[in-house]
């Protein structure tokens, strides 16, 4: 089965270089030069597994808009943001909108390819020892990759699914950020630990009754996080 990747980048020389290297790595690559074109390509190819989205784009839709639209439409494709911005708020905004990862320009193509490879591996998780994990009102189906709370389906990104799976497999066990990075992003991940905190914040908004007062994913001060086991 082809591993289909969408590359949204308005600078043709950068886009071509990325496309060539992803094809060499075995990916089926679809190109777009604008946010509007990216959404068209995505609708034409619903089997796209990864979307690489440049943040700064001409036209009405930038990379953030495309990310937000894809998540609003229910897509659970992996999303990697390309950004020349280095402000912490820009990185956080992209992750809170539903992106799984970000790469800051200038970047090396091997680094970007490694991030794509890691995200693909998370999407293609197999060999589970069990099909379903339960905790209190939650049921996580590992084969359909669905999380249900009190009978209501909760849409998760690839990273959020991996986080929930890691927590539910380690209930009542405090996990530090490094352990979560290794489990979810992989031991070769070269980004910042801050990505853990942002994704935890986003996940709490989706699963907690009162996100500001979490009772499922609790903070272990000075250490990390823990999923509190519920009967």
* Reported pTM: 0.68
Rounded-to-integer distance, Cα 6 and Cα 177, Å: 30
What is the percentage of the chain residues whose pLDDT exceeds 90?
A: 57
Residue 127 has a pLDDT of 38
Across the chain, mean pLDDT equals 88
CA 207 to chain centre: 16
Which residues, 6 or more positions from 150, have their beta carbon under 8 angstroms from its beta carbon? 137
169-175: long-range pairs with CB below 8 Å, 24+: 169/133, 170/227, 171/135, 171/227, 171/228, 171/229, 172/226, 172/227, 172/228, 172/229, 173/226, 173/227, 174/220, 174/223, 174/224, 174/225, 174/226, 175/224, 175/225, 175/226
Is the pLDDT at 123 greater than 80, yes or no? no
pLDDT score of 188: 77
* pLDDT number for residue 177: 93
Q: Which two tokens stand for residue 119?
A: 């995200």
pLDDT at 80: 94
**In the predicted structure, residue 229 carries a pLDDT above the cut 60:** yes
At residue 86, the pLDDT reads: 66
pLDDT tens per residue across span 134-172:
899 999 988 778 899 998 999 998 899 999 999 999 999
């Amino acid at each position: 089965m082809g591993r289909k990747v969408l590359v949204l980048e308005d600078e043709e020389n950068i886009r071509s270089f990325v496309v060539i290297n992803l094809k060499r790595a075995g990916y089926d690559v679809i190109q777009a030069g604008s946010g509007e074109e990216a959404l068209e390509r995505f609708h034409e190819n619903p089997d796209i597994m990864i979307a690489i989205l440049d943040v700064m784009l001409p036209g009405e839709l930038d990379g953030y808009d495309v990310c937000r639209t894809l998540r609003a439409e229910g897509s659970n494709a992996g999303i990697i943001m390309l950004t020349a911005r280095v402000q912490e708020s820009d990185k956080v905004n992209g992750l809170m909108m539903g992106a799984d990862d970000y790469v800051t320009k200038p970047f090396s193509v091997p680094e970007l390819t490694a991030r794509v490879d890691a995200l693909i591996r998370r999407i293609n998780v197999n060999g589970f020892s069990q099909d379903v994990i339960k905790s209190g009102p939650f049921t996580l189906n590992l084969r359909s990759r669905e999380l249900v709370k009190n009978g209501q389906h909760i849409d998760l990104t690839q990273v959020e699914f991996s986080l929930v799976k890691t927590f539910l497999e380690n209930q009542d066990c405090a996990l530090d950020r490094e352990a979560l990075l290794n489990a979810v992003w992989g031991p070769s991940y070269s980004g910042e630990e801050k990505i853990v905190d942002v994704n935890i914040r986003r996940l709490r908004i989706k699963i907690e009754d009162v996100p500001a007062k979490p009772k499922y994913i609790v903070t272990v001060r000075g250490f990390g996080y823990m999923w509190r086991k519920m009967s």
